[in-house]
Amino acid sequence: MICTANKVADSLIQKYCKIASQSPGVESNPHFEKDCTASLRENPESQKVRNIGELTMVGANNAISNLTSVRRIVENIIKERKYKSSLSKKLLEDCLKLYSKSSKSLTSGLNYCKVRNFEKAKNDFMDAEDAPIFCGMKFNGDNQQISPVKKENDFLITMIAIPLQFAWDVAING
């Protein structure tokens, strides 16, 4: 029975990660499908899923966990004074504020998923995606600052895009 459950879950993961990878906004990320599939398979909760709604909740929990991790890295960089300049410190502090808003949006989106309101969940996940996008934009060529968490921030965008794309699919297709 567990083997069958794992096959069902694995099939759902593969199917919806493939569909999501072809969506506008993520089709330009060549690693989206692979990252989506790997991140969901790594979460033991995904082995219990029976539908895209449940998979969306696993994706949201993964995004929350990843956001928490990136936030801790930024907090440690500031605390341990590992930034390159006072401007970098200010930009990192701005990123922390953005991450805080993103965390609230992800949690709200997850709560909407639990009551099967995927339209509102989708909107919250879109709001959550702003934090890593705008944080990355703060570090640009104009101010000659390089983000010490660029790689982590870019991956966070992918992690938030997963439940966003799934919620979008459920909201549109039911």
The total domain count for the chain is 1
pLDDT in tens, 1-43: 444 558 889 999 999 999 999 998 888 889 999 999 999 999 9
Whole-number Å distance between alpha carbons of 69 and 76: 11
Give all strands (DSSP E) within the chain, no chain letters: none
Can you read off the two tokens belonging to residue 50?
């029976």
Question: Considering only 79-83, 93-97, 123-127, which range has the smallest mean pLDDT?
Answer: 79-83
Report whether pLDDT(149) > 90.
Answer: yes
Range of the domain at 93: 2-173
pLDDT in tens, 156-170: 999 999 999 999 999
- Tell me the whole-structure pTM to 2 decimals: 0.93
pLDDT the model gives residue 145:
86
Q: Can you give the CATH number for the domain in which 71 is found?
A: 1.20.140.40
Identify which has the larger pLDDT, 117 or 174. 117
Cα separations in angstroms, 143 against 77, 87, 137: 19, 9, 11
> Cα 155 vs. chain centroid, distance in angstroms?
8
- Cβ(160)–Cβ(127) below 8 Å: no
pLDDT the model gives residue 2:
43
